């Protein structure tokens, strides 16, 4: 059956970029064992011209909505100096400030935070996320310096500085097999740390990290979530996956309409909802982790370069079609086969590719871990709550 061509005007509501993910530098000062990024030794840096070109492309294609979150990521963002961000924030504000409300977000390993960074975060209202895996015994297993030493102490020094300056931060922890055995220590640590929210990522099999330690441990992962849930119910900690699940139980995803079908709103599957731009201006869309991953079949998932072509121009070319067709097939299969489709919208292309070898795949360890199981744990707890609170 002929597949409909990409026509940005055919989406209802209109396509908008909500997350702009910019790679200030691919370099990272530490060397986590589960990192998926290739080329993290390279010290290249995004130039002001590239920042300006990204802004121009978004304007030219009418992709700006009322708000745009700019996430500085894909390397250690603080490996570029504060002056880089002063300049880049100013450039983006000048180019886009009259058209959209910009928010800047930095996800950092926190080892480089000092007074100058805290002043910059405060001056620009930057939202900070700290990558920390729990107490030192868990964190230092994987998050190490290039010479192999644990980074926990340095991260805590960075967190202490954030606190001293009154800068709120969320945390993202990578959950591995070892974390599942230490739910109580993990919960106690994060209750003390007091992030605004805790994201429970896991060591996904993707890119330079070919296997996940959670494979084969899904029962234990369910127990882990159930053990953490009371900390959230008691108001001690907001757990991102469980909070999102509770929200979804109350209200499934809003939908987009395209090609005669409703698409639950999943930003990893809607063209240009996420725009990912590498330090040199190469851009891609869909899962951010795809951009730059070695793939002869998909040209390393680079759709174009902001210095040479527009975003929608690139989407009319073969590289985009070659990517989007299997992604749509995967969504169609998810729609036909999965009871969670209205809450998920068809998953994450990068995980389908690296776990199942195809962008057109359906269920993955990723979707079971990040969506299905949290959803089922949250639903079960609500049912139990309703059961016990129902009149006798």
Q: How far is the CB of 59 from ligand SF4 (least distance, A)?
A: 33
| Residue 184 CB coordination number (10 Å) | 10
Q: How far is the CB of 252 from ligand SF4 (least distance, A)?
A: 12
CA distances from 133 to 142, 171, 187 (A): 9, 9, 11
DSSP 57-73: HHHHTT-EEEEEEEEE-
**89 vs 343 by CB, closer to ligand SF4:** 343
Query: Which are the contacts of 184, defined by CB distance < 8 A and separation ≥ 6?
Result: 227
**285 vs 362 by CB, closer to ligand SF4:** 362
CA distances from 34 to 104, 133, 196, 205 (A): 26, 12, 25, 9
Q: How far is the CB of 231 from ligand SF4 (least distance, A)?
A: 25
Q: How far is the CB of 200 from ligand SF4 (least distance, A)?
A: 16
**192 vs 336 by CB, closer to ligand SF4:** 336
CA distances from 120 to 20, 77, 129, 151, 189 (A): 20, 13, 15, 23, 28
Q: How far is the CB of 244 from ligand SF4 (least distance, A)?
A: 13
Stretch that binds ligand SF4, among 35-43, 141-149, 179-187, 342-350 (CB under 6 A): 342-350
State how far Cα 237 lies from the chain centre: 20
Q: How far is the CB of 285 from ligand SF4 (least distance, A)?
A: 18
- Residues numbered 350 to 379 that lie near ligand SF4 (CB under 6 A) are 362-363, 367, 371-372
Binding of residue 269 to ligand SF4 (CB under 6 A) = no
Stretch that binds ligand SF4, among 3-11, 315-323, 341-349, 378-386 (CB under 6 A): 341-349
**140 vs 218 by CB, closer to ligand SF4:** 218
CA distances from 208 to 45, 119, 258, 354, 367 (A): 21, 35, 34, 10, 20
Binding of residue 341 to ligand SF4 (CB under 6 A) = yes
Q: How far is the CB of 341 from ligand SF4 (least distance, A)?
A: 4
**266 vs 276 by CB, closer to ligand SF4:** 266
Nearest CA-CA partner of 237 in 201, 187, 163, 200? 187
**264 vs 281 by CB, closer to ligand SF4:** 264
Nearest CA-CA partner of 163 in 113, 109, 107? 113
- Residues numbered 99 to 138 that lie near ligand SF4 (CB under 6 A) are none
Question: How many residues belong to the site for ligand SF4 (CB under 6 A)?
Answer: 12
**175 vs 245 by CB, closer to ligand SF4:** 245
DSSP 173-212: EEE-HHHHTTHHHHHHHHHHH--S-EEEEE---BTTB---
**106 vs 323 by CB, closer to ligand SF4:** 323
Sheet containing strand 169-175, edge to edge, reads 198-202, 169-175, 127-131, 101-108, 64-72, 17-22, 274-277, 282-284, 304-305
Q: Which residue of 77, 346, 349, 374 would you call a contact of ligand SF4, by CB under 6 A?
A: 346
Contact 323, 287 (CB under 8 A): no
Per-residue contact string for residues 300-339; x = within reach of ligand SF4 by CB under 6 A = ----------------------------------x---x-
- Positions touching ligand SF4 (CB under 6 A) are 334, 338, 340-341, 344, 346-347, 362-363, 367, 371-372
């Amino acid at each position: 059956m002929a597949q409909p061509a990409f026509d940005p005007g055919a989406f209802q509501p209109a396509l908008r970029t909500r997350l702009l993910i910019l790679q200030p530098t691919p370099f990272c000062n530490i060397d986590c064992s589960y990192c998926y990024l290739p080329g993290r030794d390279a010290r290249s840096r995004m130039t002001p011209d590239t920042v300006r070109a990204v802004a121009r492309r978004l304007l030219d294609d009418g992709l700006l909505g009322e708000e745009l979150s700019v996430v500085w990521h894909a390397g250690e963002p603080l490996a570029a100096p504060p002056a880089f961000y002063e300049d880049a924030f100013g450039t983006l504000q000048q180019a886009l400030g009259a058209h959209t409300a910009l928010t800047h977000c930095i996800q950092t390993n926190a080892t480089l935070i000092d007074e100058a960074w805290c002043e910059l975060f405060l001056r620009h209202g930057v939202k900070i996320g700290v990558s920390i895996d729990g107490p030192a015994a868990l964190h230092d297993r994987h998050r190490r310096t290039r010479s192999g030493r644990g980074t926990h102490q340095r991260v805590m020094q960075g967190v202490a500085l954030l606190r001293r300056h009154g800068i709120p931060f969320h945390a993202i922890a990578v959950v591995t097999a070892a974390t599942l055995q230490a739910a109580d220590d993990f919960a106690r640590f994060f209750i003390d740390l007091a992030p605004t929210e805790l994201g429970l990522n896991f060591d996904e099999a993707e890119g330079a990290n070919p296997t996940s330690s959670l494979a084969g441990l899904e029962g234990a992962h369910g127990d882990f979530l159930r053990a953490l849930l009371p900390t959230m119910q008691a108001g001690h900690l907001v757990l991102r996956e469980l909070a999102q699940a509770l929200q979804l139980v109350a209200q499934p995803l809003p939908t987009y309409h395209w090609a005669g079908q409703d698409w639950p709103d999943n930003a990893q599957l809607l063209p240009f909802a996420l725009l990912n731009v590498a330090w040199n201006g190469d851009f891609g869309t869909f899962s951010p982790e795809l951009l730059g991953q070695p793939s002869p079949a998909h040209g390393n998932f680079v759709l174009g370069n902001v210095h040479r072509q527009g975003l929608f121009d690139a989407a009319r070319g073969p590289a985009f079609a070659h990517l989007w067709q299997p992604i749509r097939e995967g969504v169609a299969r998810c729609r036909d086969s999965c009871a969670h489709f209205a809450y998920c919208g068809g998953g994450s292309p990068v995980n389908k590719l690296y776990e199942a070898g195809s962008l057109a795949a359906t269920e993955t360890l990723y979707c079971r871990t990040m969506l299905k199981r949290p959803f089922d744990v949250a639903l079960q707890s609500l049912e139990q709550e309703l059961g016990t609170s129902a009149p006798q």
